[in-house]
Structure 1
Amino acid sequence: MSLAPADELHVAGRRIRCRVSGDGPPVLLLHGIGRTMDDFAEQHDALARDHRVVSLDLPGHGGSTPLDAPHTLPALATAAVEVLDAAGVTRPAHLVGNSLGGAVAMRLAADQPDRARSLVLVNSAGFGREVTFALRLLALRPLARLLLRPHPGIARRSERAIFHDPAYVSEARVAAALAVAREPHAARVMLELVGSLGTWRGVRPQWRRELVAAVAALGLPTLVVWGDRDRILPVRHLTNAGRYFPQAQTHLFPDTGHMPQIERAAEFEALVRQFWSRSGGARPA
């Protein structure tokens, strides 16, 4: 099975798999490590009713060509801005990021604050050291190659770790995850990112502390949401986020895993729209 059909942009000589649709205030949707923009497919369709929505496979993920330089948080944030430029989005955008995508959104806002209108951070990296044991093992190279090999069993276990409700672990999702893992550059990109962000002990504190301090100083309207059954990044990180960003709105979804935008799609959309409306960022639904 291949990835779902999508558009394509050529940015800095690289192919970027993306979707650009709708009209209105711009929105950028950013997925997590080893994932694709398909994690935001339902939200893209819903928000594009009255927004200009851009989704993309980050460089080296899914159908997007990898970078020539190492894949790091600043490099991914810069690439995301280049995609906005190529899509003709020059106004400040609502940045919505899940997991690694949340950290990319924060990095983008910190580096280029004129491009950010608000932040929606969904089970986002950056708020604590703890991370699933499987990702920590990737910092150990002998194990990493074994764990990153494209194998149906590994793909299924990865999907099961993401969702609280096993009904979301469909054959189509497992097949798509396997297709992503089979990309020739997938393991290299994953190892570069994991190595830059953490060790076998957990997420490195240096980049986290610098990033959250830089974002807190911006005073951007911020919504942080979490699933209470997240097995990738623990729910106590939501408390940390509230401490780092005391003016942020926070929300906890019950009986929900690492991707509330999928498991609680309707509630997630309503919450985001309400946040944008109250913060003066968009028209209400």
Structure 2
Amino acid sequence: MDTVEVAGLRIRYRRSGVGPPLVLLHGAYEDSRIWRRQFDALSDAFTVLAWDAPGCGGSDDPPPGFTARDLGEALAGFLREAVPGKPHLLGFSMGSGIALELYRAHRSVPASLLLVSAYAGWAGSLPPEEVERRYAQVLAELERPPEQFIPEWLPTLFTDRAAPAVVQETSAIMADFHPSGMRALLNASAHADYRDLLPTIVVPTLLLYGAEDVRAPQSVAREMHRQIPGSKLVIIPDAGHMAALEAPEAFNAEVRRFLHGVTEG
């Protein structure tokens, strides 16, 4: 892994391939290892980069009071330091919110947005009581050993048909989370609301969702699609929230198809 420094934080990242830059932004309780199948499949045509977000993997934990805007600025700094050219940003779940935060302040930076299992922020896509339930759930989890609560997450991330090895690998990655880092990320992003931003997006945007996602269901997907002008919505059959892992061939094919359309257009 390589390292850059952004606003006093060491950010670790992985990089492979040659071609237009595609930057992968992982979700909560994860790090760049979650993208192994995308590195394997897409680095023949793209320079694929995946960061460990602040507070995750090999990156430093952010300071107290870190905000959603700070997350967006951390990503902007990372792109300046590590990414050649105008990047395509692919964000999964929490990572999609970070991509939107970046777009709010730096609209000329991304060549396109690929938002996977995405919300307009929890507060922008979910009822207030569900936002508070999720927030309280994660806060409580941060006081418990991972083996006590990670198994409770897995049925909300995958269908019951997911390959056991994939579920096991994901569980092991999630168990490596930083409690203080995850707390900072939760406080920064749990109440974000990007509804006002969505209609202003003018870069090509792909929305990718698993057909059986119970965390970001199709009602959320359709509303995101309705709000983002000219966006393309793709529903991947037989997949849950983590479609990139559960149905990697279909997922990677859709990413490749979209990016080739953008780069060749």
Q: Report the TM-score range of the alignment, normalised by the length of the smaller protein.
A: 0.7 to 0.9
Determine whether 1:50 maps to 2:35. Answer: no
Listed one character per residue, the Cα deviations across residues 159-181 of structure 1 (whole Å, up to 9, x for unaligned) are 2321113434543332322221x
Select 2:195's aligned residue among 206, 209, 212: 209
Counterpart residue identity of residue 268, structure 1:
F
Residue 174, structure 1, aligned to residue 171, structure 2: yes
How well do the aligned residues superpose, as a CA RMSD in angstroms? 2.5
Task: State the number of aligned residues.
Answer: 260
C-alpha distance after superposition, 1:41-82 (max 9, x if no partner)? 211232221212210111112221122253333221211121
> Which blocks of at least 5 consecutive residues in structure 2 are unaligned?
none
The structure-2 alpha-carbon separation of the partners of 1:88 and 1:119, relative to structure 1 and needing over 3 Å to count, comes to closer
**What TM-score, normalized to structure 2?**
0.87
Contact 1:16/1:57 (CA < 8 Å) preserved in 2? yes
Instruction: Tell me the alpha carbon deviations over residues 240-268 of structure 1, each in whole angstroms, 9 at most, x when there is no partner.
Output: 12211241111111121112111111111
Q: Which amino acid aligns with 1:58?
A: A
Q: Percent identity?
A: 29
Residue 264 (1) aligns with residue 247 (2): yes
Question: Counterpart of 2:260 in structure 1: which amino acid?
Answer: S
Taking the aligned partners of 2:208 and 2:147, their CA distance within structure 1 comes to: 31
Following TM superposition, the consecutive aligned residue runs of length 4 or more in structure 1 with deviations greater than 4 angstroms are: 131-135
Secondary structure of 2:213 counterpart: coil
Matched, 1:96 2:90: yes
CA contact (8 A) 1:20 1:87 kept: no
Displacement, 1:27?
Answer: 1.1
| Per-residue deviation, 1:23 | 1.6
- 1:135/1:26 CA distance change after superposition, 3 Å: same
**Long gaps (5+) in structure 1:** 1-5, 198-206
Partner of 2:80: 85
Cα–Cα, structure 1 residues 175 and 134, in superposed 2: closer, same or farther, change >3 Å?
farther
Alignment of 1:44-193 (within 5 A): 44-68=39-63, 70-89=65-84, 91-126=85-120, 128-130=124-126, 136-140=132-136, 144-148=138-142, 149-164=144-159, 165-168=161-164, 170-180=167-177, 183-193=178-188
Deviations 1:122-164 (A, max 9, x none): 1112175327988643534xx6543222231311221232111
Partners of 1:138 and 1:102 in 2: CA distance: 17
1:37 aligns with 2:32: yes
TM-score relative to the length of structure 1? 0.81
C-alpha spacing 1:40/1:145, structure 2 compared with 1 (3 Å): same
Say if 2:244 and 2:251, in contact at 8 Å, map to a contact too. yes
TM-superposition CA deviations, 1:261-285 (whole Å, max 9, x none): 1111111111111112223x259xx
The answer to whether the 8 A contact 2:34-2:173 is kept is no
Distance 1:235 1:71, change over 3 A: farther
Letter in 1 for 2:168: E
